[in-house]
Chain A
Amino acid sequence: MSPRPGFVLDVDRSTPPTLMWHGEGFRLERLPAGSRIVYPSEPFEPIEDPDFAIRWALENPMGDSAPLSALLHAGMKLTIAFDDVSLPLPPMRAPDVRQRVIEAVLDQAATAGVDDVVLIAALALHRRMTESELRHALGDRIYDAFAPHGLLQQHDAEDPDNLIHLGLTDQGEDVEINKRAATSDLLVYVNINLVAMDGGHKSVATGLASYKSLRHHHNVHTMQHSRSFMDQRHSELHSSNWRMGRLIAASGVKVFQIETTVNNDPFPEQFSFLAKREWEWNLRDRAAFLAVSASLNRTPDRLKRNIFNSMRSPMGLTSVQAGEVEAVHAATTEQVLREQLVPVEGQADVLTMGLPYICPYNVNSVMNPILVMCLGLGYFFNMYRNKPLVREGGVVIMSHPTPWAFDPVFHPSYIDFFDQVLSDTTDPKEIETRYEESFATDPWYIHLYRTGHAYHGVHPFYMWYWGSHALAHLGRVIIVGGDSAAVHRLGFKSASTLSDALEMARDVVGPHPSITHLHNPPMLMAEVT
């Protein structure tokens, strides 16, 4: 039986309460009759023999590219870059797709007699991965073979000795990327494409770039002109990356792109009710929900976080493409959209969403208020094509505990951003002009980024810019069940229940609002007509 596609449910009196994510927990909320709920599709069937599919893809490349085996020869310099810990979400059960792909690439390299091989985690300005995270992504065999010899590297966007400036795009954008990668005879990039934005030229042009290069598209202007950044056709972010990617190719950097898609099956068996439609819950699902909710209510935050952070997703490989970047990416995007795209008619006055415990930037950590904003207004809001799910001047209601909590190891600059910047202004443009440079060039943040496990000093700014399109579009943002002090610092309104939040929304959009609920994750992208 083929999986059922995503669809829009009209809420009536017989509709059971809707499950909403609420950080490390859930809420069951009854939406007013007449509301609409956008459901994702059911997960596609995974490929039965992923290793075979990978090897087949490497030998049957797309676009203007020779098979991988033909590109490898003894004496060459090979670099394999791979997506970092921000993908996939949640982290998948071992073996990770990256491990499968890289093992296949390394087998071929060994056969061809390549002995100069370096692996690079494509961090951009993300934190360096920990040993256990690397072991999880690559497997012990690869880790132990490369790491002790310094051949498993993490991209350092602040290392002047290992960056190379390749030139300016026709728009005057600096293209500066990892030197080892750029000067290799072949650069293999291994992607996991979870959403439509991932992959393509963005892999190298962003993942292996320096701050100098990134700031050309990671800024308020670009983000406000990417409507949405998930939609390649209307994304300034996408265009900029494509200009850079083409310049990288033109500079003679030979990239062999490998992109993989995974199915929409993020949660393990005991949480299977999360991916089911509420009226189809059977006795076991109800029991599981009750048991999980009841025990979570009694669990301290720290332990709750540990429980969720140790969740490993059973997601399976649904496609793998290899070869020339643009051809590969076209096929990948099609695959992603096929599973995630849901047609929705018309915009609503109010968009509600439940935010889960995880986003790309708090893997194995706590979701701080800035990341809550980024997940809701950056990611979820932008999961659309054509036009946003909510009308201009409308209201977004997000459900998340939004604790005033920060990870001092991973997010040191976030703490200062929250205390110093957001207490002053929440306007993205003003933040960019007045504060970005001092954080981006702060030597202490750079030191922690380069030597520890800290996100770059400028990263919280990017998180804020990510939501700038939504901020400009919306009339009000309300967070349900959040720490009200933290919510106010974000510049949002705080409500204790969904019905309170809807009352507050009525002040902005009128007494009889149309309401759409985004039932996400599992991931979906709305095609709004």
Chain B
Amino acid sequence: MIREALTGRRIGLTGGTGFLGTALVERMLRSVPDLEVAVLVRPGRRGAEDRVRREIIRNDCFDRLRREWGDRFDAEIDRRLLVMAGDVGTDGLGLDEAGLEILAGCDTVIHSAASVSFDSPLDAAVEVNLLGPSRLAEAMRRAAGAATDAPAGATGSPGHLIAVSTAYVAGTRRGDSPELPLSETPFSPDVSWREEVDAARRVRADREAASREPAQLTRFHKQARQELGAAGVPLLAERTERIRQDWVSKAMVDAGVARAQSLGWPDAYPYTKALGERALLETRGDVPVSIVRPSIIESALAEPRPGWIRGFRMAEPVIISYARGLLKSFPGIPEGVVDVIPVDLVVAAILAVAANGPDPAGPSVYQVASGATNPLRYRRLVDLVQDYFAENPLYDADGQPIVAPRWAFPGRGKVTRQLERLDRTLTTADKVSRSLPLRGKQAAWTANLEERRNQVDRALGYVRLYGAYTETEARFLVDRLLELWDRTDAEDREAFAFDPRALEWDSYVQGVHLPSIVTHARVRSAPGRRSTPNREERGRRAVLSPDRHMAVFDLENTLIASNVVESYSWLATRRMKDRDRLGFTVRALREGPSLLALDRKDRGDFLRHFYRRYEGADVEELRAEAHELFHTLLLAKSFPDGIRRVRQHRALGHKTLLITGALDIVVEPFQELFDEVICARLSTRAGRLTGELEQGPPTGEARAQIMADYARTHGLDLEQSVAYADSASDLPMLEAAGHPVAVNAEVKLATIARKRGWHTEEWPKAPGYSTPLLPLAPRLAGRARR
């Protein structure tokens, strides 16, 4: 019946790139002959057609169809899948003439586009979820009107609009929730949706304005500085602006949750969906409307294949976090109902509604949920999950099984408090470790700490957002849905099953859903070490690919564990008497902290200030001493792996470049190692150093510029360059390179590198060889001493 009713029709669809949308497109193309699907998608950078191809057709949802159709797959898709470029988030959908024409030809339109994220900013949720359905109805009317004037055989009246909503529009209140328009139920706060729209837009303007207050901007700048250190003006500015935008965005999310909860919904999603339903019913005009309200949609029971899922949805991160031992407990009422419904049941129900056509009596509502007829209790779900992971544990990076914790059923408040406490502890630890001069392994540990904190933050987020859904005591009635089911024939029941009573939870959860999300999450589900090259090796191969053009290296702590202060003190003590050496050492130790502080603030200023000390030094004498300095102290403190890496790049034909704030005299011996050395130079007068730099030192953003200039003059591609550095103050250089590598990274850079997935290297000093504690030159024998 359903198949016959739909055969040869054209059905419009929004939200085709989503989880439900993709399943709808696939099922319609596969199960109904000669049905045309017209999808409305936002044109991406490469246009709507391209987006459809990449985000819908290439999804593994279509694997079955590709197999069944074989060679004619592409031709069939071309023939039966039409594309409209548009956006439900803008008035008029942004449809062009061609789009309108296609829309006019649709006798049914399924509106599945939504901002489903439970923590989307208030205004974004309002634009898509609240206004989207009304905009679509308006566009359908417009398309139908345009078609009336057109001579070609259009119907002239708008098609059937099936709006996908959510069962949770009823909020989280107890009791039965019937399949009725919200206004006819008790779950309808008396607010005007138009005022809510205005208010949401106003909140956005307010928050934007607040974020630009000088005090706020100062705070954002300070935070950027804390993260990046002395990374130079452009990067700090960029980061500051990003922090401001994030702040606004976060404020909008908070505003959404606050507003939703004030009206009795758990978050912005059901709140905007509920008002969206009401707006649609108010503004639909002569558009016939049906509303389908699924509960929590999860992986497919059978179609296109058991376990098919798209995207990481609500329950999955929670379950995976649990299986990895990260989430120790999740709030919920043991006897509460978790209302889950497999996606293919929702798809089939929507198609049944489409085949059934609009109710002549007016808008009708169907709920697709399991709770009322076949409830899955929270305790049962937890047991199933626990048993599953006890049998099939996940494995950690070392190939050891992870023991998932036993799940208690604490109240939401308790879990939240626990997590908040952990969050506070980790935040403090993070702050403390950030203020320590750590690098390499310790810094990576700190970055770990940050990751751990993020995990806790995320867990806290899950609890706050989804906690309400495990505590739901509403029963979503499905009487109308079952009426529809009763009217289907045997063939339909085979091809378009949507009876929630038929679900067997044990086999669905353990046999279909959990295996699917384990695969989907790409977590380790087999013991033993990986045979494929690990991340580190892949990263190394990428930087050492023959395709690269150049490799740029920082010096201090990237290639040698030394710095300009050490070099200076070695050179200065070279010809000192013992008594003077002691005095010098004491002075140097005393000055250390203030020099370090200056260095952290601005590397360029620090070098300018520090190099004054060379004033009056004899250039030739210094050159000879520097030679010794290099072959004793610097080489002893070098990182053999780093030196080897430079040579590997050279052997591969890459140009190698050393950019350092160290003095030319000191780094001169490195000329042999690199194609080019760019360093600081002091001017001379009558064979003596003046203590002043010839030009600005190559630090901060100047390094990025130097790299770019070098690449241009040598005809090299910056995208094909590799940059090695240890500190966040080198960020401009690292960002300019196509392949940044964080070497022995200090905390800030380690954190950034981890976030951005940069390759990192741990280069130690020569193993087992200890260097002197103080950078003093060895005493000279005989008369060379002054």
Contacts from A to B (Cβ < 8 Å): 131-132, 135, 140, 143-144, 301-302, 366, 403-409, 412, 415-416, 419-420, 442-444, 447-448, 451-454
Contacts and interface: CB of A to CB of B under 8 A. Distances in A.
Nearest to B784: A131
A301 B769 CA distance: 10
B783 interface: yes
Contact of A415 (B630, B669, B766): B766
A405 B643 contact: no
A412 B766 CA distance: 9
Nearest to B778: A132
B631 A451 contact: yes
Contact of A442 (B635, B647, B767, B780): B647
Contacts of B644: 416, 419-420
B770 A302 contact: yes
A416 to B, nearest CB: 6
Interface string B641-661: 101100100000000000000
Interface of B: 627, 630-632, 635-638, 640-641, 643-644, 647, 669, 672-673, 765-770, 780-783
A47 B781 CA distance: 31
Contacts of A443: 672
A14 B33 CA distance: 101
A249 to B, nearest CB: 37
B640 A131 contact: no
Given A144-B782, A144-B783, A408-B635, A444 B769 contact: no
Nearest to B671: A447
Contact of B768 (A403, A442, A448): A403
B631 A453 contact: yes
B513 to A, nearest CB: 46
A140 B783 CA distance: 10
A140 B780 CA distance: 12
Contacts of B781: 131-132, 135, 140
B783 A366 contact: no
Given A408-B638, A444-B672, A453-B631, 5 more contacts: A131-B780, A140-B782, A407-B766, A408-B769, A415-B767
Contacts of B765: 408
Contacts of B627: 451
Contacts of B769: 366, 405-408
B676 to A, nearest CB: 15
B782 A135 contact: yes
Nearest to B627: A451
B673 A452 contact: no
Given A135-B782, A444-B647, A404 B767 contact: yes
A409 B636 contact: yes
Contacts of A131: 780-781
B635 A412 contact: yes
Contact of A405 (B672, B768, B782): B768
A241 to B, nearest CB: 31
Nearest to A407: B769
A135 B632 CA distance: 18
Contacts of A366: 768-769
A403 B781 CA distance: 32
Contacts of A415: 640, 766-767
Contact of B643 (A406, A409, A444): A444
List of 6 A-B pairs having minimum Cβ-Cβ separation, nearest first? A405-B768, A452-B631, A408-B766, A447-B672, A415-B640, A302-B770
B635 A448 contact: yes
A415 B765 CA distance: 11
Contact of B631 (A144, A405, A409, A444): A409
Contacts of B770: 301-302
A408 B640 contact: yes
Given A135-B781, A442-B647, A452 B635 contact: yes
A129 B258 CA distance: 77
B767 A405 contact: yes
B355 to A, nearest CB: 68
A490 to B, nearest CB: 15
Contacts of A409: 631-632, 635-636
A408 B636 CA distance: 5
Nearest to B644: A416
Contacts of A420: 644
B766 A404 contact: no
Contacts of B637: 408
A135 B778 CA distance: 15
Nearest to B669: A451
20 contacts: A131-B780, A135-B782, A140-B781, A143-B782, A301-B770, A302-B770, A403-B768, A404-B767, A405-B766, A405-B768, A405-B769, A406-B768, A407-B769, A408-B635, A408-B638, A408-B766, A412-B643, A447-B672, A452-B635, A453-B632
B779 to A, nearest CB: 9
Nearest to A408: B766
B657 to A, nearest CB: 16
A88 B781 CA distance: 22
A406 B782 contact: no
Contacts of B636: 407-409
A443 B650 CA distance: 11
A106 to B, nearest CB: 18
Nearest to A128: B631
A443 B783 CA distance: 35
With most chain A CB atoms within 10 A of its CB, the pick from B636, B638, B769 is B769
A416 B768 contact: no
A140 B785 CA distance: 14
B669 A406 contact: no
Nearest to B638: A408
B367 to A, nearest CB: 65
Contacts of A302: 770
Contacts of B641: 419
Nearest to A131: B781
A307 to B, nearest CB: 15
A415 to B, nearest CB: 4
Contacts of A406: 640, 766-769
Task: Output the residue of B638, B765, B770 with the most chain A CB within 10 A.
Answer: B770
B630 A452 contact: yes
Nearest to A144: B782
A442 B637 CA distance: 21
A32 B635 CA distance: 47
B138 to A, nearest CB: 70
A442 B646 CA distance: 12
A447 B647 CA distance: 13
Contacts of B631: 409, 448, 451-453
B647 A404 contact: no
B785 to A, nearest CB: 12
B48 to A, nearest CB: 53
A454 B669 CA distance: 14
Contacts of B673: 444, 447
Contacts of B782: 135, 140, 143-144
A398 B256 CA distance: 75
A297 B629 CA distance: 33
B675 to A, nearest CB: 12
A452 B767 CA distance: 20
A403 B769 CA distance: 10
Nearest to B779: A132
Nearest to B673: A444
A406 B630 CA distance: 18
A308 B635 CA distance: 23
B247 to A, nearest CB: 48
A390 to B, nearest CB: 30
A302 B769 CA distance: 8
B767 A416 contact: no
A227 B640 CA distance: 36
Contacts of A444: 643, 647, 672-673
A415 B632 CA distance: 17
A196 B757 CA distance: 60
B672 A412 contact: no
A452 B633 CA distance: 12
Nearest to A446: B672
A74 B635 CA distance: 45
